[in-house]
Amino acid sequence: MELVVKDLSIGYSTPLVSGLNFRLNAPTLAQIIGPNGVGKTTLFKTVLGLIKPLSGRVLINGGDVTGAPAVAGRYVGYVPQLAPNYISSFPMTLWEFLRYSVDLVGGGQSYSVDEVVKALRLVNIPEEMWYRDIRKLSGGQRQKALIARALLRGAAILLLDEPLSNLDLVSRSQVADVLLKLSKEKLVLVSMHDPTVFLNSTDSIILLGYGKHFVGSPRDVMKFELLKDVYGESVTLVERCQHILDLH
């Protein structure tokens, strides 16, 4: 599976990012980083086809999916940033959430019990929680449920918007482990405020700034001078270690 962005300019009335180019091949883990408001979520929506770029193209396996959500959705699964009560305010079990939400998007396509079980096991949700009211699950379990939903829809490319935000330390570690495991088989692209969590397993970093961007390996992008140019005073050196103090 290959995702290619060619000469992409994204935004609304004025571009947030212009002339962006990158190529990602599965299996891989890539990160999008940058301060708030630079276009990380807009880039995700453009890849998903929900927003048409101002110019440029998005290609998946050589096919043009630019501005075509129905086509992009065959390959790409999106996991939004987790917010309190995001999943459902209605009483339903985790199992029901997965079956019904996927059936709605799939236009009546049925999913076997084995497929649901496989998705739940891939994200390490124990069986005793499958029939629990989804509103009573922890933040980490709800985030895993959203990942399982994307997997059940057959996504070979996963886009995850701040997948570790609003989670406690234990849940952050569990969800991170799931994503690292999935990145061994799929193309996993995450937006992060703290890139250090996945840094040792990251193949590519896309750094977005205000009107600027940088793409490359962690060694190429995670340089103090370059980060300082984008984050300003949020970047510090502590005993020769770089830290981005982006606490949004």
CATH number at residue 102: 3.40.50.300
| Model confidence band, residue 240 (pLDDT cutoffs 50, 70, 90) | low
Report d(CA 202, CA 199) in Å as an integer.
5
3-class secondary structure for 97-164?
Answer: HHHHHHHHHCCCCCCCHHHHHHHHHHCCCCHHHCCCEHHHCCHHHHHHHHHHHHHHCCCCEEEEECCC
Residues in a beta bridge with 130: none
Q: How many domains does the chain have?
A: 1
What is the arithmetic mean of pLDDT over 150-179?
86
| Model confidence band, residue 157 (pLDDT cutoffs 50, 70, 90) | very high
Between residues 54 and 12, which one has the greater pLDDT? 54
| Model confidence band, residue 193 (pLDDT cutoffs 50, 70, 90) | confident
pLDDT of residue 137: 86
pLDDT of residue 244: 65
Instruction: Give residue 229's domain range.
Output: 2-244
pLDDT per residue as tens digits for the range 63-104: 999 999 999 988 998 988 765 555 556 788 888 888 877 666
| Model confidence band, residue 105 (pLDDT cutoffs 50, 70, 90) | low
Residue 35 has pLDDT above 80, yes or no: yes
Determine the 3-state secondary structure of 50 from DSSP. coil
Its pTM stands at 0.85
pLDDT of residue 89: 64
